[in-house]
Amino acid sequence: MRAAVITGAAGGIGTALCRGFRDAGCRTIGIDTGKAAGGCDAWFELDLERLCTDDDYRHLGFERLSTALGDDDLHVLVNNAAVQILGGTGELTAAAWQRTLNVNLLAPFLLAQCVLGRLQAARGSIVNIASIHAALTKPGFVAYATSKAALVGMTRSMAVDIGRAVRVNAICPAAIATPMLLEGFAGNAAALTELAEMHPAGRIGTPEEVAQAAVFLASAQAGFINGAVLGIDGGINSRLHDPL
């Protein structure tokens, strides 16, 4: 059976990714910390920062992942997990900077290394969930934006490096209606409406739209798409915010 491995599986986009790949005929294996992921067939807890800093923990985690996959063909690795530590240039600590790069950049690379042989054998693919912050950002997002820009760069570099056997693509969402985003606007409906109207599409995106894009990028129909960066942004990436 085909399998999909999805990190950050307990979040809003992660849950939609698990359901989307399961609906597409994959056995979905969710990875997250703290709580079980919904919409997936199997789940196990893995601390992605510790994966980057503790060799013994990393080897154990990779063994658990191999056990979870069993004899399945690995169709896709979706690197969705991320941390967003806010802070300006004069405020960020070295620890916050390193944690951001570990979880958002190094962990996706190490996971790709771990399953590369399985992906090559199955002619599978990698989908990295980056962010509009890879190209367009705002004050206070220095570490997060840097990590996502690097993830996009890694996507393109890996497509060149392993693209004959494993396709590697990225998705850059703008505002997506996850529970976390909506909770941030609780009691401030006007601000949420203003955010939606900033997008030329006149709304924010849904987790399901991100999942549908990932399912497509991993499908045979996208077989010649490699090293691509797909914006799921409602057109905001094209908008100039000059005064009218």
Residues 8-36: tens digit of each pLDDT: 999 999 999 999 999 999 999 999 987 66
Which one from 144, 148, 167, 178 is the annotated catalytic residue? 144
How many C-beta neighbours within 10 Å does residue 26 have? 25
DSSP per-residue letters across 100-126: HHIIIIIHHHHHHHHHHHHHHHHT-EE
Task: Determine the Cα–Cα distance for residues 45 and 32; give it in Å rounded to an integer.
Answer: 5
Task: Determine the Cα–Cα distance for residues 45 and 25; give it in Å rounded to an integer.
Answer: 23
How many C-beta neighbours within 10 Å does residue 3 have? 25
CB 85 within 8 A of CB 142: no
Class of domain 2-175+206-231: alpha beta
Residues lower than pLDDT 70 in the chain: 35-37, 243-244
Task: Determine the Cα–Cα distance for residues 204 and 220; give it in Å rounded to an integer.
Answer: 29
Task: Determine the Cα–Cα distance for residues 85 and 82; give it in Å rounded to an integer.
Answer: 10
Q: Where are the domains of the chain?
A: 2-175+206-231
With 0-12 / 13-18 / 19 or more C-beta atoms within 10 angstroms meaning exposed / middle / buried, residue 176 is: buried
CB 124 within 8 A of CB 116: no
| pTM, full prediction | 0.95
Q: What is the model's pLDDT at position 34? A: 73
Closest CA to 151 of 217, 102, 216: 102
Task: Determine the Cα–Cα distance for residues 124 and 102; give it in Å rounded to an integer.
Answer: 24
Q: What is the model's pLDDT at position 161? A: 98
| Rg, the chain, Cα only | 18
Q: What is the model's pLDDT at position 180? A: 80
Q: Look up 144 and say whether it is catalytic.
A: yes
Residue 66: partners with Cβ closer than 8 Å, 6 or more residues away: none
